[in-house]
Amino acid sequence: MTVGVKVIRKSGILVSKLVSVLLVLLYIGQTVCIVYLIHERYQLQGILREQQLKINELEEKLKILNIIEDFQVGFKNHEVAQLTKVVYDESKRYGYDPLLILALILTESSFRKGQISEMGALGLMQVKPSVGHALSQRRGIHWGGELSLFEPSFNVRLGTLYLFELILKFKDVKKAIIAYNLGENALKLRLKQGQRLPTYYLSKVLKKYKELKEKYEQSKG
């Protein structure tokens, strides 16, 4: 009887160890499966986020394209495509709402090709040659002479850069927009003398910006 009991006990221990090993293996297998599923889930979420970002980018570019096509005068199809890209890229570079840049262009030149102001400002964003040359020198941008300001993409690059510099100097978007039209030194003088700032130009830009948002962002929804 003693021998039989020992055999039974040994058998029980072996069975217990076997069950324990199986349980451990099962636990490890379940853990591995869970980790794999979590990994796959995060990968899938990452892919979905990337796809959503691409969709958002395409929708934003399409909105810019639609606005340019609706207002532009005198541009060829490839120039419209280039303008769409540069407005999108420069807006991302400086943190602008693209519609603000488009509103500024509409105010400055009504999106007409080859515009020249009475003050000698050129192109879509009405950049003065002296301002364009100074910007190019400061930022290491190739300057091809004042005629290069009639090249739409180059003009928008310099115009958005100039506005960005004004925002940094005046620490205020509205003052920067006023300075874009009035002139940096003229605005500084008015601020120094405590004079009231002109708001006509700013009001025009903001009105066009509001109109663009109402028309093109509502139509998107």
Q: What is the CATH number of the domain that holds 33?
A: 1.10.530.10
Domain residues for 198? 2-220
**Taking a C-beta distance cutoff of 8 angstroms, is the pair 124, 108 a contact?**
yes
Give the pLDDT of residue 194. 95
Position 217 scores a pLDDT of 84
Domain total in the chain? 1
pLDDT at position 122: 97
Average confidence (pLDDT) per 10 residues, the chain, 221 residues: 51 64 77 78 75 86 96 94 96 96 98 94 97 95 95 96 97 97 96 95 98 83 48
Burial classification of residue 178, based on how many CB atoms lie within 10 Å of its CB (0-12 exposed, 13-18 middle, 19 or more buried): buried
**pTM, entire model:** 0.79
From the list 109, 100, 97, the residue with the least C-alpha distance to 72 is 109
